[in-house]
Structure 1
Amino acid sequence: MARRIIPVLISLVLATVGTGAIMLYLRSADERAVEGKQARTVLVADRQIPAGTSGKVLRTKGYLRQVRMPVETLPEDALAQVTGNLDPLVTTAPVQRGQLILRAMFGTGGASGSGSGIPAGQMAVTARVRSAVFGPASLRPGARVAIFYTYTPADERKRDVVSGAGLEKGRDINSVTRLLMTDVEVISVGPAPTDGTGTAGTSGGGGSDELSVTFGLNQVDAERLAHAVALGGELNVGVLGDSSNVKPDSGVDNRSLFG
């Protein structure tokens, strides 16, 4: 019996020593990363955080861990701790493991209890949009945006009629990009699905230049967006500023791209 116990004890000791060595190495790696730079402690997600998770739950249920990062690499609203004033607020989009925790990730939960912060009188509609044009970091919950739609028209004489064949591409195929709607509020932003179950576009699973964006829309605009998605094509958004002047027009196609 003793002969069996001794190897087990030796294995446990070696495992403990190995784990300690790894932790020391990781700690020294963090220290080397900030060596010679001004650094501060911030929070990152220690595991995936579902949308609608309250600040109180984050603070008390082990969702977060502290790391040291160079100040020059941090957004202004990076959080060092989740304080009590965030307890009644919720995350407006899923947060992935290792993602930096920002103040802008929190909002007021909707009356439905979904935590999505749905504006009064509207509904939440989610679509996959291209992020290559505006950059994913520039799109935050609460932003007001214009939604643009790129599609293949039925024929040259009917640019207002979408073909329904998705966004076709080819040497002799013309495509059109037009304003679909404007002054739309973004409720949440998250990674595009990768299993082909997303709600937008003709490209299947989410790509590296795509995001899953939830908008607050009235019934008419929700119907328009849902129909555009069903017809195929691609969605882009433009973030609006206080003085942005965006109006419907005839858009641009392959032949008028350069004026």
Structure 2
Amino acid sequence: MGRRVLAIFAAAVIALIGVVAVLLYARGADARAVSANEPTSVYVSTKPIPASTQLKDAVRSGMLVKTAIPAKGVPAGALSDVNADNGSLVAVTDIAPGEYVLASRFGSTPQGSKAIEVPTGMVAVSVSLSDPARVGSFVTPGTHIGIFDTYKVASAGSSSASAANGAGVAGTSVLLDDVLVIGMGSTALNPGTPTTPGAAAPAAAAAPGFLVTVALSPHNAARLIHAISSGSLYAVLRSSDLKMANTPTVTDLNLFSGAGQ
């Protein structure tokens, strides 16, 4: 009789343990299901991101946007945060639109021997511009800019050259009205000018220059290269529908007249 009671008690205990185990498993499964469907923020590319584009610039220009997806759909290593620690990293390869971007797609240097992609039939030309002259940090690879050139009117062969000759009159004109940027330098080209012992210190330090690389036809490349050596260049960030080719020249003589030359 005692053995039968003991067996019944043991069976009841085993059944109770089984019920508790099933309840615990069900509760854990529910928790895992809820966790798998919890929204998690990741970055998705909305536009092509050229190699060498800085991560912070890609976010600022809308190439990368943060979106929320269920945790179970997040790829391993997905980029989930952009901050001071990784914002200066650059795209190591071109990134196509529509990707859940992995953090590993950004690093310190682009991969391979070709850091920029030059469009067919064009050449790449790099020009050093001061921070204001490159529109601060708002110009990024893939944007379109216009380039103005300031030069001595007397050397330009214009109708006013004879009157301006010897007077040091300067003029500013549109040199290139629509230029594709394909690369940006990340550091100043002339952060400081070393001086020779005993030499006089320069009167004023030159403004740091930043490298902007653009794609041009060979003819326009020759024009830009000549302007680099003979004039002073300034870039503007243009809208997609802007027409700048007929912008009149402004000189010291008509600066306040309200009309171009």
Q: Tell me the TM-score normalized by structure 1.
A: 0.49
Q: Tell me the TM-score normalized by structure 2.
A: 0.48
Larger radius of gyration: 2
